Amino acid sequence: MSGINWSLIRHLVIRDFRIRYSGSSLGVVWSLLIPMAQLGVLVFTFGSVIPVNIVDYPAFVYSALLPWTWFSSCLGSTGPLFFSHRDLVRRPNFQPIILTVVNTLSNLVTFLLSLPLLFLLLAWYQRSVTMSLLALPALLVLQGLMTVGLSLLVSTWNVFYRDVAQLVNIMLSLLFFLTPIFYRPVVESQYTVIFQVNPLAVLISCYRSILFEGRMPGWDAWAHITAVSVALFVCGYLVYRHDLPEVVDTV
């Protein structure tokens, strides 16, 4: 990844974020309304219709919904990335990996813009922000590594197998229910292994510990997320580097 033009990445992130909401009367406000609408549906369903009896439920859900939305938005849009930017991909001095980095950072901006709403919810339920918040940047970096790695796999394979993007969207729909976003995982259960092998479940639990519970995640959780994030990034990058010449020729 040596020689990546970070000033170009910054420019493309700003451009991508502006284009996403250009022509809309509400503009960037949509980046806040969409997760709030999702929160409203989940709170109504599992707070009133099928109550799960979790204290301060809106803040509980929102602390997990934000990182999930960042992850799913990136993976859901990364499939056609190389095709939709084929002019850039074909340029001799352009590194296509930049597109996955830009997509990840652009969606991170939405995450960061939504954080103040979470802090307002926490204040409403009299949950104070603690020193554990200092660990949030490290968690963002680890999720960023994981997301870029998976994005490289998806965007690369989708060049050769156009069904990959559709399969990813199906997997995201299933993964949403297998990740403890709107419920607490049952620790003593025959399904505990699902949450142990699902890195998103561990990641979401770390976010919830920091943002909602005001405590640091355990070292075992940090080790798990670090190992998985680095492994996925390395795997994605190696596949991308191996297939890059054919990607350029195909698009």
Q: pLDDT tens across 195-226, in order?
A: 777 899 999 999 999 999 999 999 999 999 99
Asked whether residue 79 is assigned to any structural domain, the reply reads yes
Structure tokens belonging to residue 217:
């995640």
> In this predicted structure, which of 1-5, 105-109, 145-149 has the lowest mean pLDDT?
1-5
In a domain, 14, yes or no: yes
Q: What is the pLDDT of residue 4?
A: 67
pLDDT tens digits along 37-64: 888 888 888 878 888 889 999 999 999 9
Q: How far is CA 218 from CA 145, 185, 203, 207, 221, in A?
A: 20, 16, 12, 12, 5
**The dihedral formed by the CA atoms of 192, 194, 197 and 202, expressed in degrees to the nearest 10:** -70
Q: What is the pLDDT of residues 68-127, one digit of tens each?
A: 999 999 999 999 999 988 898 998 888 999 999 999 999 999 899 889 999 999 999 999
Residues in the chain: 251
Q: Check pLDDT > 90 for residue 158.
A: yes
The rounded distance, in Å, linking the Cα atoms of 113 and 66 is 10
Looking at the 3D structure of the chain, how many domains does it have?
Answer: 1
Domain residue limits at 143: 6-250
In a domain, 17, yes or no: yes
Assigned domain for 1 exists = no
- 152 — pLDDT class (breaks 50, 70, 90): very high
